[in-house]
A and B are shown apart, each in its own frame.
Chain A
Amino acid sequence: MKVIVGKDLLYVNAGQAVENRVLFDNNKVAAINLISSPGSGKTALLEKTAELLKGKLKLGVVVGDLYTTRDAERIERAGMTVVQINTEGVCHLTADMVARALRELLLSQLDLLFIENVGNLVCPVSFDLGENAKVALLSVVEGNDKPAKYPGIFREAVATVISKVDLLPHTDFDLPACLAEIQQINGEQQVFVTSARSGQGLSQWCAWLEQLAAGKAGGNHTADNC
């Protein structure tokens, strides 16, 4: 006997992602799914972002790691509301993990929620968390070939943040070549060239975040990131 199924393997995740999205919309929170390699500076970017947006936007963070609460402690010290998810080995966050974390947050009191995904450029891309925008982060110490090697995330991202550019003189990272490649992979995304240490590019990044949050507060719909 042959049974036709035709059901998506990610349907459970997709359903939960829709629920998360409704929750973000109802609370007028702009949610960003931040995806990068381990060690690219996600937490440092968030620390600086909190500093610059203090008094302007109320920020929350859901932070995913395999183990430890080290990132959550850093984020909390920076003055943001934070919930840690430990995936205990799983290489990506799922919509269900995020939904459980959201129950610990007062979403109505936030303007912007960062979901700091597990450090991984591949698997997190397949799992919709209900976010409004995916943002990719790429540090110059990783090499400028990452967009070509891992195009999936750069194709899906509404914006890419290039981090640690204060280290450029010490690396072989070819910034113009990298920017050109990102442009070729996804010509419609915003790119921010930044350093959390020197502060370079962070005001543009924060202005963009403010715009995103304002769009959400005004009732605009989810950015089309497909």
Chain B
Amino acid sequence: MHELSLIQALIEMVVKSAMENNIKKVSKVQLVVGESHGVLPDALGLAFEILTQGTVCAGAVLTIEKSTLLLKCRECAQEFCPEGYLYRCPNCGAVNAALIKGRELYVDYYEGD
């Protein structure tokens, strides 16, 4: 359900933009998904295939760029990519790191004629 509503939002966005740019057929949509969202690329792909039917996006390819997590320790300012589910700073061991990347969920661009 989660993936379906996200893709619904994506299609509405692209359809609106395509209309404004006089694009009749969209061939590719590039989506950036942060790791922190835990959404499944396969489920996004399936939702895209189903929900684009009858729109200018029908038959378009959905490509997904994964944005990996990047954290910054609030104690020592060390930046690090966490291993597993713990956000422990490898430098000082603090567990209160701030998320600075990996929360993205946006349409980067689309292509069409």
Contacts and interface: CB of A to CB of B under 8 A. Distances in A.
Contacts, number: 86
B107 A7 contact: yes
Nearest to A2: B111
A1 B106 contact: no
Interface residues of B, number: 35
Contacts of A1: 21, 23, 111-113
A126 B102 CA distance: 13
A218 interface: no
A2 B37 CA distance: 27
B5 interface: yes
Contacts of B68: none
B108 interface: yes
Interface string A154-169: 0100000000000000
B91 to A, nearest CB: 15
A28 interface: no
A52 interface: no
Interface in B1-27: 1-2, 5-6, 9-10, 13-14, 17-18, 21, 23
Interface residues of A, number: 31
Contacts of A90: 1, 5
A90 B5 CA distance: 9
B85 A148 contact: yes
B23 A3 contact: yes
A187 interface: yes
Contact of B95 (A8, A91, A122, A184): A184
8 contacts: A1-B113, A2-B110, A3-B109, A5-B13, A5-B107, A6-B107, A9-B10, A152-B38
Interface of A: 1-12, 89-92, 94, 122-123, 126, 148, 151-152, 155, 183-188, 226
Given A8-B106, A10-B6, A187-B94, 13 more contacts: A1-B23, A3-B109, A5-B108, A8-B104, A9-B6, A9-B31, A10-B9, A91-B2, A122-B2, A151-B86, A152-B36, A155-B87, A184-B88
